[in-house]
Amino acid sequence: MSTVHHEPMTTTMLPHYESGLPSLYEAPPAPPKPRLMFKMPRVVPDQKTKFESDEIFRRLARETEVRYTGYRDRPIEERRQRFQAAIREGHTEMAFLTNGTNMNLIFATNTFNNNQKEVDFDKEPGKVHLRSPFIMNGVCVRFRGWVDLDRLDGVGCLEYDEENAAEEDRFLREEIEKYKARLREFEEKQRAFRVPTTTHGHHHAHVHPHQPEQNNIQVR
Strands 101-106 and 91-96: antiparallel
The confidence band for 181, taking pLDDT boundaries of 50, 70 and 90, is confident
Please give the model's pTM, rounded to 2 decimal places. 0.65
Task: Pick 3 or 103 by higher pLDDT.
Answer: 103
The confidence band for 217, taking pLDDT boundaries of 50, 70 and 90, is very low
pLDDT tens column, 123-138: 999 999 999 999 999 9
pLDDT tens column, 84-117: 999 999 999 999 998 899 999 999 987 666 667 8
Q: What is the pLDDT of residue 171?
A: 84
| 150 Cβ contact list (under 8 Å, min separation 6) | 80, 126
The yes-or-no verdict on residue 202 having pLDDT over 60 is no
pLDDT tens column, 17-67: 444 444 444 555 554 455 556 567 789 999 999 999 999 999 999 999 999
Please, which residues bridge with residue 81 across strands?
A: none
For 9-15+44-161, the fitting CATH number among 2.40.50.100, 3.40.50.300, 2.40.250.10, 3.40.710.10 is 2.40.250.10
The confidence band for 179, taking pLDDT boundaries of 50, 70 and 90, is confident
**How far from chain centre, in Å, is Cα 184?**
27
Long-range CB pairs of 194-197, under 8 A, 24+ apart, other chains included: none
